[in-house]
Amino acid sequence: MSSRWTTAVLDPSHTGGWAVVRSSLGFLRDEQGPLFAREWVASQGLPVLAEHGVGHLEGEPVFVYELQGPVELPGCEWQGLRQFMMQGDLDIFNLLGYAAQIATWAREHRFCGSCGRAAVQIKGERAMHCDVCDLRAYPRISPSMIVLLTRGDEILLARSPRFVTGVYSTLAGFAEPGESAEQCLIREVREEVSLQVRNIQYKGSQCWPFPHSMMLGFHAEYAGGDIVPQADEIEDAQWFRVDALPPLPAGRSIARYLIDLYVAERLGLPEPVLAGQV
């Protein structure tokens, strides 16, 4: 992680620092970006649902304000997290990605999941607590696998109906209870394109804040079968040569890293670096 941005549990009773403001429309920004003086945010009378300290940027504390709903402020606009991913400072995107996950958790765990009573934040710990049930709720991380299936100089890429028009990407899916990452990979490839795999190799991981995934990245070799796209999940799936690829995912995503890494291996190009890795 960059020395500019570090995560931390901060006490909201402390004054000063920076603030980022989030609603269902994304993060608030002005012409300078998404960071605002915390005192200014507090003075705007915003419909704040929750406030949490998320870390330090260049030594300065940063807090996230989760709003009940979007509001209009002069000179400001709302921007989605994916737009921040595509542009600008990687540290700012990492900050916002973490803030988005904490804000989602804060919104969804205001009440005890057992008895329904109001939960309170535990001082110095990233947890919401119910005094009656003694139940603690921590931010959720959902493990998932993402895999590039290879066949010599060909790679398998697929389209979901949810993708940007024309873009093809790797296969991915969430782990089921009791599954290992490898078992999840084998099942997802079988379900999504009806293919078998072999020689599974782990390549790296990336926290994916849409909204709270931990993506475990793999390469795997084709072992058999014919492509049969899963109905309602896969719009199209094809083998593409490494020197004739379709439009691909964003450069900072682990999906793009897995593709670029294999292309570099086959074509003798410099090895790419996964965004956010040391």
184-194 residue pLDDT tens: 999 999 999 99
Q: So what's the pLDDT on residue 1? A: 43
Tokens of 137: 């709720």
The phi and psi torsions of 146 (rounded to 5 degrees) equal -140, 130
User: One fold for both 5-108 and 142-267?
Assistant: yes
* Nearest partner of 240 among 135, 136, 153, 134, judged by Cα: 153
In order, the DSSP letters of 21-76 are EEETTEEEEBTTBS-EEHHHHHTT---EEEEEEEEEETTEEEEEEEESS----TT-
CA–CA–CA angle 208, 214, 217 (5° rounding): 95
Q: So what's the pLDDT on residue 162? A: 87
Question: Cα dihedral sign for 150, 153, 156, 159?
Answer: positive
In the predicted model, residues of the chain with pLDDT beneath 50 are 1
Task: Please tell me the distance from the alpha carbon of residue 119 to that of residue 62, in angstroms, as a whole number.
Answer: 23
For domain 142-267, the CATH superfamily is: Nucleoside Triphosphate Pyrophosphohydrolase (3.90.79.10)
Task: Please tell me the distance from the alpha carbon of residue 259 to that of residue 83, in angstroms, as a whole number.
Answer: 21
* Nearest partner of 124 among 34, 9, 30, judged by Cα: 9
Q: Which CATH number fits domain 5-108: 3.60.10.10, 3.30.420.10, 3.90.79.20, 3.10.28.10?
A: 3.90.79.20
Pairing, β 5-10 against β 48-57: antiparallel
Residues 6+ apart with CB under 8 A from 172: 144, 145, 146, 147, 188, 215, 255
Q: What is the DSSP letter of 104?
A: H
Q: What is the number of alpha carbons within 13 Å of residue 205 lying toward its C-beta?
A: 11
Q: So what's the pLDDT on residue 50? A: 94
Q: So what's the pLDDT on residue 3? A: 63
Task: Please tell me the distance from the alpha carbon of residue 273 to that of residue 277, in angstroms, as a whole number.
Answer: 7
Single-letter residue type at 63? F
The domain spans of the chain are 5-108, 142-267
43 CB burial (10 A radius; 0-12, 13-18, 19+): exposed
Cα 221 → chain centroid: 26
Does the reported pTM lie above 0.75?
A: yes
